[in-house]
């Protein structure tokens, strides 16, 4: 399967978003979404689907280091189910262990010596979504 994918790093306050391309095997961050206003949140997601027309959707599944579910795992699963029902595209849950830590590391490396601004902190969520997409893409057979 080729085409565009959208990846999400679910969080209670914000949801990181990334787009990827199966053919190129690459991904990049998009603007994170605020999860506080449910109506606006779903309109923003609708806009993403309209703009990117994904053929694949990947949602990060937060697991503890031993592979067991975390308190937010059920919420990420519910989010994935809601995406699948709303858009009729199968949603893949992908282990996201260490993506937040790796995102912080990459971000700190890119901004070495600079102070982190509020906007930068928001982008960490989408960097994590990018890592989720890259990890999933790396596990796929060549297109």
Give pLDDT tens digits for 51-109. Answer: 999 999 999 999 887 888 988 999 999 999 999 999 999 999 999 876 666 655 656 56
pLDDT band for position 116 (cuts 50, 70, 90): low
Q: Is residue 143 part of a domain?
A: no
The CATH number of residue 32's host domain is: 3.30.420.140
Q: How many CB atoms lie within 10 A of CB 97?
A: 17
The rounded distance, in Å, linking the Cα atoms of 103 and 76 is: 19
Q: Structural domain tally of the chain?
A: 1
Quick one: 141 exposed, middle or buried, by C-beta within 10 A (0-12, 13-18, 19+)?
Answer: exposed
Domain containing residue 67:
4-138
Q: Is residue 70 part of a domain?
A: yes
Q: Is residue 126 part of a domain?
A: yes
Q: pTM value?
A: 0.85
The rounded distance, in Å, linking the Cα atoms of 78 and 143 is: 29
The rounded distance, in Å, linking the Cα atoms of 87 and 104 is: 31
Q: Is residue 124 part of a domain?
A: yes
How does the average pLDDT of the chain come out, rounded? 85
CB 14 within 8 A of CB 124: no
> Which tokens hold the place of 44?
């923003």
Which runs of E-coded beta strand occur in the chain? Answer: 4-9, 14-21, 26-34, 56-61, 91-95
């Amino acid at each position: 399967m080729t085409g565009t994918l959208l990846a999400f790093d679910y969080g209670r306050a914000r949801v990181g978003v990334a787009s990827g391309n199966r053919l190129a095997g690459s991904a990049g961050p998009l603007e994170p979404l605020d999860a506080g206003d449910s109506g606006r949140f779903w309109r923003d997601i609708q806009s993403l689907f309209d703009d990117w027309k994904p053929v694949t959707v990947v949602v990060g599944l937060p697991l503890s280091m031993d592979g067991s579910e975390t308190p937010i795992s059920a919420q990420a699963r519910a989010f994935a189910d809601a995406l699948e029902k709303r858009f009729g595209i199968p949603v893949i849950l992908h282990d996201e262990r260490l993506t937040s830590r790796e995102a912080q590391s990459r971000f700190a490396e890119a901004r070495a010596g600079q102070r982190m601004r509020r906007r930068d902190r928001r982008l960490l969520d989408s960097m994590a979504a990018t890592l989720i997409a890259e990890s999933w893409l790396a596990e796929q057979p060549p297109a």
